[in-house]
Amino acid sequence: MLRVVRTLFVSIFSIAIAMPPAFAQQAQDPAALPVPKKMDKDTKRKMRKTLKELDSAYRQWLTEDVTYIISPDERNAFLQLDTNEEREQFIEQFWLRRSNNPDLPDNDFKEEHYRRIAYANEHYASGIPGWKTDRGRMYIMWGPADEVESHPTGGTYDRPMEEGGGSTSTYPWETWRWRYLEGIGENVIIEFVDPSGSGEYHMTMDPSEKDALLHVPGAGLSLMESMGMASKTDRFTRSDGTNLPRTMGGTPASMDEFNRLELYSKVNKPPEVKFKDLEAVVTSRIVRDQVHFNWRADYLKVTNDTVLVPVGASPEQPAFLSGQRRNSLRDHQYFRARDHAHRPCGANV
């Protein structure tokens, strides 16, 4: 007779909660992010000390493995945890928040993330590990581009009209294009240049940075410069952060200074975390009474290979006195049931 022992996970959404600060600190869930607030000097000093004293595995996880995808609030929360048990819980929830299907035993997001790190180290290393390079960082954060235009040796370059037209010679460069990136938009284009020829490409907002003849007088002239309608020295008086030649037509939106700055800012921020049903799901294994609730599970045999497990759980509904006011805790609880193999199983709540 097969007996199935089911492990229960409790997902608690705090819908409406009112509690004094003392209780909130006592019931803190390491996986739940604190409300962003300005930290005092003592807190910052403690966080710096914690970072230095972290076990090497946790320090590597924070400063290498997820350094590009962890949000500032998540990083601050992690550095304020006190025990390794809390850090393990935090890491588990970190990956669950980003998984497309938290019910599966294997986390697809986590697997893809470490695959990207391995790919970056294999293809973009240049005296430093590939994950530290600009191309490696963009690949890890946003995945493979839909289109890549690569010129590993540079060479002759015919400028498009929005860059002034004419021909010049370039350093090695690449252009990556994504049709769509969530949180950024459509037709996202990033350019990388290797002016030193060392293989270490860096991301640039200035399309003229790849121009190897930029500082050579009379060479690599634009269309207007070759017609005597503009001077090459005009390139160095621009105020939009580029050294592009003057153009005969208007400037497209993609070349606008503020649009380029906005794009540069967005692609360097950690990708947005999508919570299921637009709510933060906090999933905790029942290992201790973090929220102080009572629970009971009974086991009733239904068939030879099926066991019914009625589960009841309720918070203790503590009451607190704050001055002359009486505060109470109110929450809604949801349950997710999984078997010993971490597969979701039917549950009536």
- Report whether 7 contacts 347 (CB < 8 A): no
The predicted pLDDT at position 35 comes to 47
151, β-bridge pairs:
173
Range of 15-29, 86-100, 115-129, 304-318 with top mean pLDDT: 115-129
The predicted pLDDT at position 195 comes to 95
- Report whether 179 contacts 189 (CB < 8 A): no
The more confident residue out of 305 and 194 is 194
User: Is pLDDT of 40 > 60?
Assistant: yes
Q: What is the mean pLDDT of residues 224-231?
A: 92
- CA 183 to CA 185: how far, in whole Å? 6
- Which region among 136-140, 166-170, 286-290, 330-334 has the lowest average model confidence (pLDDT)? 286-290
pLDDT tens digits, one per residue of 86-124: 999 999 999 988 888 877 778 899 999 999 999 999 999
Average pLDDT, the chain: 79
User: Is pLDDT of 137 > 90?
Assistant: yes
- Which region among 102-111, 177-186, 188-197 has the lowest average model confidence (pLDDT)? 102-111
The predicted pLDDT at position 344 comes to 56
Q: What is the mean pLDDT of residues 315-338?
A: 56
Helix (DSSP H) and strand (DSSP E) numbers for the chain: 9, 15
Closest CA to 138 of 110, 119, 111: 119
pLDDT tens digits, one per residue of 47-57: 888 888 888 99
- Report whether 139 contacts 116 (CB < 8 A): yes
The predicted pLDDT at position 31 comes to 45
Q: Which long-range contacts (CB under 8 A, 24 or more apart) does 326-332 make?
A: 327/18, 327/19, 327/20, 328/18, 329/17, 329/18, 329/19, 329/23, 330/15, 330/16, 330/17, 330/18, 331/12, 331/13, 331/14, 331/15, 331/16, 331/17, 331/291, 332/12, 332/13, 332/14, 332/15
